[in-house]
Amino acid sequence: MTERVCLITGASRGIGAATARELAGRGYAVVVNHRDSAPAADAVAHDVRAAGGDAEVVQADVTDPGDVTRLVDTAQQRWGRLDVLVHNAMTPFPVTSFADLRWDQLGTKLDQELRAAHLLTHAVLPGMTDRGYGRLVYLSTGLSRRPRTGMIALGVAKAALDSFVRYVAAEVAPHNITANVVAPSTVDDTAVSERLPDELREQLAAATPMRRLARPEDVARTVAHFAGDDAGFTTGSWAPVNGGLIMP
């Protein structure tokens, strides 16, 4: 069978980079997207090729319509197909209480979160629909269901993403396309967790039944499950990767 082709947004570091390595290890050709971190994205692609895999780096801002079209076209021109979208790129958000949250801050985060998901999903669906096969995986967060102080803008934007994915899942299901959400708790070795004070990281780990934070590889393996055929009859789901912190 022709190798499956996967586009991973925001794959220069953190969860996206771990997912690119995981999927490449499972035989997928991977498109490593980044916005501003060419050396880091090149390093991910280098690792994939060194392990015998196939990777292409594409710089693109996932909130820019022209960039998203170019990103998806690049994959389709190189391999003639795109089977899997992992939308992982993290747009910025303010950390603030509701009392200090201005509408323009919340509005900007909502706009960027949904704009990127909308643009990417629109761009990949025609090819998937034509071929009668597709896997859409979106990165959300446990904060979309359980509030944590200061995280209102991210939590609300990701809750909107969760709902967006369920609507997409219902609409594309007849074409053998699945759409699922992977929702980690705090993930070690990422820009987010590195900004947290040690005391809060320890509290979060202690509050987790499995007594540690998630690792990028934990999340990558769950994404790989939804990207593959083992989860082929599961769609519209919200999969926690959190060591039992939230049991929905």
Ligand X SMILES: NC(=O)c1ccc[n+]([C@@H]2O[C@H](COP(=O)([O-])OP(=O)(O)OC[C@H]3O[C@@H](n4cnc5c(N)ncnc54)[C@H](OP(=O)(O)O)[C@@H]3O)[C@@H](O)[C@H]2O)c1
Q: Which stretch binds ligand X (CB under 6 A): 10-18, 75-83, 162-170, 225-233?
A: 10-18
Using an 8 Å Cβ cutoff, are 186 and 247 in contact? Answer: no
- 132 vs 59, 82, 173, CA distance in Å? 28, 12, 10
Is residue 88 close enough to count as binding ligand X by CB under 6 A?
A: yes
Residue with token string 């998203």: 68
Rule CB under 6 A: which of 97-156 touch ligand X? 139, 141
**Torsions phi, psi of 45, nearest 5?**
-65, -40
Tell me the two tokens of residue 132. 């009668």
Is residue 62 close enough to count as binding ligand X by CB under 6 A?
A: yes
Nearer to ligand X, 16 or 134 (CB): 16
Of 7, 75, 84, 89, which one interacts with ligand X (CB under 6 A)?
A: 89
Distance CA 238, CA 142 (A): 10
Extended beta strands in 71-176, E state: 84-87, 134-139
Total number of residues binding ligand X (CB under 6 A)? Answer: 29
Nearer to ligand X, 12 or 235 (CB): 12
Is residue 14 close enough to count as binding ligand X by CB under 6 A?
A: yes
**Torsions phi, psi of 149, nearest 5?**
-50, 130
What string marks each residue from 42 to 61 as x (binds ligand X by CB under 6 A) or -? Answer: -------------------x
DSSP-derived 3-state class of residue 43: helix
Is residue 222 close enough to count as binding ligand X by CB under 6 A?
A: no
Tell me the two tokens of residue 226. 């939804």
Using an 8 Å Cβ cutoff, are 176 and 133 in contact? Answer: yes
Of 16, 134, 155, 243, which one interacts with ligand X (CB under 6 A)?
A: 16
As measured in angstroms, the least distance from the Cβ of 243 to ligand X is 12
Nearer to ligand X, 36 or 104 (CB): 36
Q: Which residues bind ligand X (CB under 6 A)?
A: 9-16, 33-37, 61-63, 88-91, 139, 141, 184, 186-187, 190-193
